[in-house]
Amino acid sequence: MDRLYLLLNKMKYYFKIIFITVIALLGACREDDNSDLIIEREEPHNNDPGEPTPYTFQVPAHFSRIGAPFVPQDNPTTVEGVALGKKLFFERKLSRNNQISCASCHKPEASFNDPGKAVSIGADGTTQGIRNAMPLFNLAWTKITNSDFNWHGNAESLEEQALEPVVNPLEMQESWPNVVNKLKADPDYPRLFNEAFGTVDIDSHLVVKAIAQFERTLISGESRYDNYINNQSNGPTLTAQEIRGLQLFINEDKGDCAHCHGDQSNPLMTDFQFRNNGLDANPDSGLAAVTKNPNDIGKFKTPSVRNLVFTAPYMHDGRFTTLEEVVDFYIDDIQESPTLDGFMRKKRELTSQERADLVAFLKSMTDSSFTRNPAFRP
Amino acid sequence: MKNLFNPKYYILPLIAFSSLFFTACEEEDDEPLIETRIVEESVPRYQASINFKEKVNGNDLQMNTNNKPYTNAAGQSFNVTRLRYLISDIKFQKADGSSFTIQGYHFVDATDPADDTYMPDAKVPAGDYEKISFTFGFDREDNVSNAYPALNIANWAWPGMLGGGYHFMQLEGDYDSLGTSKFFATHMGTARNNTVSPTTYEANHFEAVLDTAISIDGDFSFSIVMNVEQWYEDPYQWDFNVYNAPIMPVYDAQRKLFINGPSVFTFE
């Protein structure tokens, strides 16, 4: 009997091992699919932080209509890179006198725009820029190839775009060697660069890579309009007036805004094209300054029409204070010039009620959860 | 007597059993499902490389010209500032009536060299084919709103109020109207007829037949040529003053493009 008892006990022991092994292996399977399980990681050594953690984009469900964000192969988005990029975005050491950061003209509470200013002021507090600061969101869907950033398309990528403001005499008025020296002398940055990029050897290219990673995380798609096109599944949607405005926005007979500013299949609300929208009879050079092609004179990037309530004044030079003025301009005041876009040469006829409906619709694309998102604050 | 409870009898089965789970994990991540092939394995398949060209009266289309180098059948001079179009389901037909279709679409922006060549994933079985055809636009089954991310991000949707789905073509430019330069936007998609009640939404795609025999015994390539002037002359003579922009909501314009369309494409 004693012997049998011992054997049974042994059996129990081995069944326990089998049971634990099976559970552990099932768990291993689950780990791939599901991030619920906490994965213990070895503490990194001082100089070897290990591989950075891949970053998961927080994307509204209906953005699946436009596919995954475009991320350049040589700058994958990581948790550590995004955190570093955010710190750098709010870092005043990027300017000559340590007075302004990217966020000074791209304020998170204003959809990363400089509200109320037609043009922004440089680091010295007096020098004025020449173009309205662009709001920053949903930039991760600008194609990697054939993508042109800034109003006049002079930067090929987000990374390249971030190089320029630092040295622009109208903006941060600094030099990259100075910025790099300031960051190297900082108690935190060498460690943060090491975590994000595996090196303490900070240079301008790593700085802009980190900033671009942060900028790609700025995703905005939770307005009442989004609730409406997202099958009205969550939260308040559009009023009757706003729905009328949406129809005017799409209808080729009426506003015909959608050909350039997107529709319900394209939540970005831009076509990424450069167009002369008829602001002036003798337009600013625009894209032609980059391409040297006279056919591109007066062409500027089509901006997204999201979050407009945060970003007045409007147009590349901030000439219009209100959305009512913008809508009236497109209907009543288009200026002819040789490169004027065809869609602008079409006569639009909208009653005052229709104009009000259109403005109401534009204001429905307001995403306050984006402008209040603590993940985008320092 | 053997001691059945001795651990040595359990260790091996335990390892074998456990390894099942390792395999299960790996399979999900790495092993693609084995594709079931409908076509006999004995027929080799070859890669198609399809080029897209746009011409006017036999010459390569020149876009964004300062002048208006082309003249339509109605005698109106015009230029082209933008041309984007969509084709789908290229079909290879044999004399016996059997056929092979490359399921899928190709979107062409005439200003983007990357769109000039279409290398479909599906390979074409070797054989002698009597003709090649394709769908201009999407047929009803494929013309589903929101379904194609690459088209959505290209602002290619056709408005829901006009029946939804996608544009088939955007052909834009300027034409001369009694000395004045005017804009035309020949946009094509589902044809809404709101002169009847209830409103109907007519599928407006068509099958373009490239009447050419092709023998496939290796990787092959050919060109599909859009002869732009044909949109505007055969059989309907198109008057830009009648159909300039907007024409998306104009039923007659949409149906005329449908009727003029099949003669637009040639094989090269």
**Which among B99, B137, B81, B160 has a CA at the least distance from the CA of B264?**
B137
A chain contacts of residue B25, beta-carbon cutoff 8 Å: 25, 28-29, 32
Structural domain total, chain B: 1
Categorize the per-residue pLDDT at A233 as very low, low, confident or very high, splitting at 50, 70 and 90.
Answer: low
- What is the predicted pLDDT for the residue at A34? 36
- What is the predicted pLDDT for the residue at B57? 94
Q: How many helices (H) and strands (E) does chain B have?
A: 3, 19
Q: Check: CB of residue A93 under 8 Å from CB of residue A292.
A: no
A289-306: average pLDDT: 95
Q: Using one digit for the tens of pLDDT, what is the confidence trace for A98-128?
A: 999 999 999 999 999 999 999 999 999 999 9
- What is the predicted pLDDT for the residue at A184? 98
A139-164: average pLDDT: 90
Q: Is residue B180 part of a domain?
A: yes
Q: Is residue B132 part of a domain?
A: yes
Q: Is residue B11 part of a domain?
A: no
Q: Is residue B86 part of a domain?
A: yes
- What is the predicted pLDDT for the residue at A46? 54
Q: Which of A8, A265, A346 sits opposite B245 (nearest CB)?
A: A346
Task: Give the SS3 label for residue A259.
Answer: helix
Distance between A305 CA and the closest CA of chain B, angstroms: 14
pLDDT of A132 > 90? The answer is yes
C-alpha of B213 from chain center: 21
Contact (CB<8Å) A25/B25: yes
Q: Check: CB of residue A284 under 8 Å from CB of residue A350.
A: no
Domains and CATH numbers, chain A: 61-219 (1.10.760.10), 224-371 (1.10.760.10)
Q: For A127, which DSSP code? A: -
H-type alpha helices, B91-158: 149-152
Distances (CA, A) of A93 to A175, A183, B23, B55: 11, 8, 53, 56
- What is the predicted pLDDT for the residue at A49? 77
Task: Give the SS3 label for residue A97.
Answer: coil
Q: Considering Cα of B135, then B137, then B140, then B141, what sign does the dihedral take?
A: positive
Q: Report percent pLDDT > 90 for chain A.
A: 81
Q: Is B14 within 8 Å of chain A by CB?
A: yes
Q: Is residue B209 part of a domain?
A: yes
Distances (CA, A) of A85 to A22, A159, A184, B60, B214: 42, 11, 15, 47, 56
Strands B220-227, B48-56: pairing kind: parallel
Q: Check: CB of residue B261 under 8 Å from CB of residue B231.
A: yes
User: Looking only at Cα atoms, what is the longest distance across chain B?
Assistant: 112
A chain contacts of residue B187, beta-carbon cutoff 8 Å: 252
A311-315: average pLDDT: 98
Categorize the per-residue pLDDT at A247 as very low, low, confident or very high, splitting at 50, 70 and 90.
Answer: very high
Q: Is residue B147 part of a domain?
A: yes
A261-279: average pLDDT: 94
Rounded CA-CA distance A127/A123 in Å is 8
The angle subtended at Cα B177 by Cα A278 and Cα B181, nearest 5°, is: 25
* Beta strands, E only, chain B: 45-46, 48-56, 59-60, 70-71, 77-78, 82-93, 99-109, 117-118, 124-125, 127-129, 131-136, 169-177, 180-188, 191-193, 200-202, 206-210, 214-216, 220-227, 265-267
Rounded CA-CA distance A329/A339 in Å is 18
Half-sphere exposure of A337 (CA within 13 A, CB side): 23
What is the residue-averaged pLDDT of chain A?
Answer: 89
A49-74: average pLDDT: 94
Rounded CA-CA distance B49/B221 in Å is 4
- What is the predicted pLDDT for the residue at B13? 47
Q: Does the structure's ipTM exceed the value 0.85?
A: no
Q: Is residue B35 part of a domain?
A: no
Distance between B47 CA and the closest CA of chain A, angstroms: 26
Strand-pairing partners, residue B100, are: B92
Q: Using one digit for the tens of pLDDT, what is the confidence trace for A20-49?
A: 444 444 434 333 333 333 444 444 445 677
**Paired tokens of A24:** 């552990």
Residues of chain B with pLDDT under 50: 1-4, 7-38
Half-sphere exposure of A318 (CA within 13 A, CB side): 19
- Output the pTM of the full model: 0.84
pLDDT of A84 > 60? The answer is yes
Task: Give the SS3 label for residue B127.
Answer: strand
Query: Which chain B residue is nearest to residue A22, measuring alpha carbons?
Result: B18
Compute the 3-state secondary structure of chain A and give helix, strand, coil in percent, each to the nearest 5.
45, 5, 50
Q: A with B: how many residue pairs have Cβ under 8 Å apart?
A: 108
Residue B262: which domain range? 45-267
Q: Check: CB of residue A75 under 8 Å from CB of residue A69.
A: no
Q: Is B22 within 8 Å of chain A by CB?
A: yes
Q: Is A5 within 8 Å of chain B by CB?
A: no
Rounded CA-CA distance A20/B99 in Å is 56
pLDDT of A76 > 80? The answer is yes
**Paired tokens of B189:** 């998609």
- What is the predicted pLDDT for the residue at A304? 97
- What is the predicted pLDDT for the residue at A341? 95
Q: Using one digit for the tens of pLDDT, what is the confidence trace for A192-220?
A: 999 999 999 999 999 999 999 999 999 99
Q: Is residue B227 part of a domain?
A: yes
- What is the predicted pLDDT for the residue at A143? 80
Q: Is B149 within 8 Å of chain A by CB?
A: yes
Q: Using one digit for the tens of pLDDT, what is the confidence trace for B65-85?
A: 889 999 999 999 999 999 999
**Which among A177, A217, A199, A182 has a CA at the least distance from the CA of A85?**
A217
**Is it true that the peptide bond before B235 is cis, omega within 30 degrees of 0?**
yes
- What is the predicted pLDDT for the residue at A9? 52
Contact (CB<8Å) A21/B18: yes
- What is the predicted pLDDT for the residue at B65? 84
- What is the predicted pLDDT for the residue at A33? 37
- What is the predicted pLDDT for the residue at A24? 42
Q: Which of A11, A256, A262 sits opposite B246 (nearest CB)?
A: A256
Phi, psi of B183 (to 5 degrees): -90, 135
Contact (CB<8Å) B187/A252: yes
Contact (CB<8Å) A268/B153: yes
Instruction: Say how many residues make up chain A.
Output: 378
Q: Which of A18, A253, A262 sits opposite B155 (nearest CB)?
A: A262
Rounded CA-CA distance A291/A271 in Å is 19
Rounded CA-CA distance A281/A340 in Å is 9
Q: Minimum mean pLDDT among A12-26, A341-355, B63-77: which range?
A: A12-26
- What is the predicted pLDDT for the residue at B209? 96
- What is the predicted pLDDT for the residue at B35? 37
The angle subtended at Cα B213 by Cα B210 and Cα B217, nearest 5°, is: 120
